[in-house]
Structure 1
Amino acid sequence: MTTIRSTRPGYTEVEADIGRPLPSTTITAIRAVAYTEAVGHPRVGDTVLLNVSALAKRLGTGGFGLVVALPDALPADPPEGPGHLVKDRYSPLQTMVLGVDDQESEHHETLAGEDSLHGMPVIVADLHSTLPAIIAGIRAVDPGLRIAYVLSDGAALPASFSQAAAGLKEAGWLYGTISTGQSWGADLEAVTVHTGLLAAKHVLNADITIVAQGPGNLGTGTKYGYSGLVTGDHLNAAALLDGIPVGVLRMSNADARGRHFGISHHSLTSLAEIARPGVRVAVPDFSTLAEVELSEMDPDPSAVAEVVASQLPLLHMHEQIDVSLEGLWSQLKSTPVSLSTMGRRLPADAAAFLAAASAGRMAVEI
C-alpha cells in the first residue's frame, strides 16, 4: 500500500500497487477501501489482500478495490460484549453487532412493546443520491426537525461507505442512522426495516425518517431486476406501523435511457405494483421555478413535465400531491455534501434533485 487518500470513522481509502495490470488494462495502481472495523487500520507500506473483481469488470458502481485483510497487521479481536446479531452472514467478513432490537439491548423492552410510528412521515427512495436532496426539502420548511436515515441492504452494506451520510451528520443535517438487514455500521443496528423504523421513532426520537439503500444500486434493465424495487415493501412497512408513507418519484430530465426519462420505470413499478394504495406521492410543479433559477439549469427540467403528466395515471391508487418548488433550488445549492446522481451534478439533472426535495417539503407540510 502506497498512500492513505482519506479517512473517516469506519472507513479508510488507500492507494495500492497491485504489481501487475488488471485484465485488459495497463492499470497497476488502484484506489481501495478498508472498512477498519472489520480489517483494522492500514498503514503506508502494509501488504494488503485485495478484492478487485469490480475493477476488473470496469464497473462504475463498485469501482473500488476492497481490502479483505492486512496479513501482516491483523486487527485485535474485538472486546467481549453484548450483542448477537450477525450481519453480512456467512461471508468471510461477517460481523457481529449489538442490535437495537437485540434481547441484550437496553432498548429491547421499548421495541418489544411498540408497534406504531404514531403518524411519523416515512420518506422512501430507491437511490441513495436522493438523501441530501430530500433533507434539503425538509429543511426548507423546518430546519429544526430531527431526521433519521434507515439504511436498507439493497446496495452497499457497510454504512461507512456513504460519504453523504457522514457529511450530513457532521453538518447537523442528519441526526442519526440505522443499518438494517445485512447492512451494518450505522449508529444503531436493527434486524429489519420495521424495527429500524420503530427505533428511529422511539430511540432516536426522529420527527421524520428516510429509508433508502446505500450507494451502488444494482440494475439489469429489466422490469423487476433492480435492487431498489423493495421501496414498495418499505412503503408498506411504514403503513403497517401507522406511519405516513411518502413516495419519492425518481425522475430525470437528462438520462438518455428512455425508461428513466420523466418518472423512472423503477418508481412506476414499485409504486404501481408493490406498494399498497394510499401512499402520499410528491409531484414537483416545475412551473413554480423562477426564470433566474431555470437559467442555471441545463437542460431545462420542465421538459419532462408533459411526460410526467402522461405517466401519473399509472399511480392513480395513490394520493398525488403537487408541490411548489419555490425556494428549493437555493436550498439544494446549499447542501453540505455534493449532489450527484448517475454521474450527473445538480444543474445537469435538476429534475432528479427537485423531485426528491419536493418529497421532503411535502412530508413536513402533511
Structure 2
Amino acid sequence: MISWKKGKVSRVLEALDHIQELDVEVEGTLCCAWNFPLLTGDVSTGDYVYLNTTAVEKKLGSGGYHFVIANLSRIPDPAPGDDGHIMKLRYTPYQVKVLSVEEEASPFHQQIKDFESLEGTPVIVGTLHSMLAPAAAGCLAATQGRARVAFVMTDGAALPLTLSKTVHALKEKGMLAGTVSAGHAFGGDLESVNIYSGLIAAYQVLKAEIIIVTMGPGIVGTGTRWGTTALEQGEIINAVSVLGGQPIAVPRISFADARPRHRGVSHHTLTALERVALREAIIALPEVNTEQHDLINKQLEESGILSHHRVVVRDGSPALRYLEGQGITVKSMGRTPVDDPVFFLAAGAAGSVAAELRKK
C-alpha cells in the first residue's frame, strides 16, 4: 500500500540535471524530498506538494527521501516537446514521451538501422549501480585516461538516470563519454527501447570503446534465489554476445556483508552466471588473499560456473587510486572501499580487463 502525505516546500536545495532536491515540512517535521520537473513540473519555496512517503516509512533504499507526486499550488507548464513518440512508464499516470534513438524521427535512426556488430567491443556487465564508478576508473587507469567509456543504465532499479550522483560526478570529471537509458529508465543522453538498442546506441552513436551496463541506484532483492533484479546480469551477457560484443561480468563479492548468502560471491551472481547466462563471459576477479581466493574459487567451482565461463584475475587497486585522484568517493550498501575492499576491487578488475580488450 502506498503512503501519501501533504507537505510544504521550505526550500529548494539543489537543482541537478533535471532533478530538484527539497526540504519539505511534513506534519511539523523537516524532511528531504526529490522532485522530477519532467514529471511533475518545477516547485518553489512555499508550494504545497503531494508526497509519496512509502520508501522512507518502510525504511527502503531511497536514501531517506520522499518523492513529489504533484504540486498542489499550481499546474505545471507542459514539458518541452520533441518529435519522439516512444512512451516510458507506459500506461501509468506519469508516462513520459521521449525521442528514442531507434525511431524514425531520431537523427541517429539510420546509424541504428545500419548496425551489424559490436565487433568484439568489451562490455562490462555489473549489477549494483555502485559498480559503475570503480569499473570506469579501472578502464581509465589502465589506459592513462584515454578510453572512451559509455554507460547504459537498465530499468532494474531506479528509473530516472538523473537520480544518480555517481553519473553526474563521472561526467563532470570527463570519465564518461555519454549515457543511454534503456527500457523504462529515462533521462540519459540517449533513450532506447531495450538493452539491445541501448548497446547499439552506445557503440554506434556515442562511439564507445568500452561500454558499462548496470541498473540505476537501488536493487530489488527478496532473499530468494530468483526474486531479484540482479538476474538481469545473465540476460545482458546474452544480449552482448548476440550483438557481437565481449561480455565481462563483475561478480558481486563481499567479505563485509553479514548475510551468509552474500559472503564471498553473492548467490545472485552465482544464479545469474550459472543459470541465466547462456553465452560465455569473462568473469573478472580481483587479487585477494589466499583464504578469500579459496572461498571464491570453491563457490564458482561448485556452481558449475567455471565450466562455461572464463575467469581472469587482475589487480583492481589502480581503479580505486584513480577515483581517489579524481576526488570521487564511492559506497555500496553504506560501505566504503575501506570497509569492503573486495567489492570495489572486483569492479576495478573488470575495468582493467576491458581496457586490455579495447580496440586500439
- Smaller-chain TM-score bracket: over 0.9
Q: Aligned to 1:308, which of 296, 318, 332?
A: 296
Matches of 1:102 and 1:163, distance apart in 2: 29
Matches of 1:165 and 1:258, distance apart in 2: 31
Q: CA deviation at 1:364?
A: 1.0
Change (3 A) 1:325 1:127: closer
Q: Aligned to 2:199, which of 172, 197, 221?
A: 197
Which blocks of at least 5 consecutive residues in structure 1 are unaligned? 21-27, 288-301
Q: CA deviation at 1:74?
A: 2.7
Q: CA deviation at 1:15?
A: 1.1
Which position in structure 1 is the counterpart of 2:72? 71
Which position in structure 2 is the counterpart of 1:364? 355
Q: CA deviation at 1:345?
A: 1.1
Matches of 1:194 and 1:277, distance apart in 2: 15
Matches of 1:60 and 1:217, distance apart in 2: 8
Matches of 2:247 and 2:351, distance apart in 1: 12
Moved more, 60-69 or 125-134: 60-69
Alignment of 1:280-299 (within 5 A): 280-286=282-288
Moved more, 56-65 or 266-275: 56-65
Aligned length: 345
Q: CA deviation at 1:31?
A: 0.7
Alpha-carbon deviations, 1:41-62, whole Å to 9, x = none? Answer: 2211111111111112122346
Matches of 2:169 and 2:74, distance apart in 1: 29
Q: CA deviation at 1:329?
A: 4.1
**SS of corresponding position for 1:343:** coil
Alpha-carbon deviations, 1:146-175, whole Å to 9, x = none? Answer: 111101001100110111001110110111
Alpha-carbon deviations, 1:212-231, whole Å to 9, x = none? Answer: 00011110000010012111
Matches of 2:323 and 2:251, distance apart in 1: 17
The answer to whether the 8 Å contact 2:52/2:67 transfers is yes
Change (3 A) 1:254 1:335: farther
Matches of 2:14 and 2:80, distance apart in 1: 27
The answer to whether the 8 Å contact 1:117/1:243 transfers is yes
Which position in structure 2 is the counterpart of 1:235? 237
The letter of the residue matching 2:345 is: L
Which position in structure 2 is the counterpart of 1:18? 26
The letter of the residue matching 1:310 is: K
Q: Cα RMSD between the aligned structures?
A: 1.5
**SS of corresponding position for 1:359:** helix
Matches of 1:18 and 1:353, distance apart in 2: 37
Matches of 1:167 and 1:276, distance apart in 2: 34
The answer to whether the 8 Å contact 2:130/2:331 transfers is yes
Q: CA deviation at 1:332?
A: 4.1
Which position in structure 1 is the counterpart of 2:331? 340
Matches of 1:87 and 1:177, distance apart in 2: 17
Matches of 1:87 and 1:205, distance apart in 2: 25
Which position in structure 1 is the counterpart of 2:318? 327
Q: CA deviation at 1:70?
A: 1.3
Alpha-carbon deviations, 1:51-81, whole Å to 9, x = none? Answer: 1111121223463210111122332113443
Which position in structure 1 is the counterpart of 2:224? 222
Which blocks of at least 5 consecutive residues in structure 2 are unaligned? 1-8
Matches of 1:44 and 1:180, distance apart in 2: 34
Change (3 A) 1:327 1:182: closer
The answer to whether the 8 Å contact 1:247/1:359 transfers is yes
Change (3 A) 1:62 1:96: farther
Matches of 1:355 and 1:228, distance apart in 2: 16
The letter of the residue matching 2:126 is: A
Which position in structure 1 is the counterpart of 2:17? 9
Which position in structure 1 is the counterpart of 2:96? 95
TM-score of the pair, normalised by structure 2: 0.92
Over the matched positions of the two proteins, sequence identity in percent amounts to 37
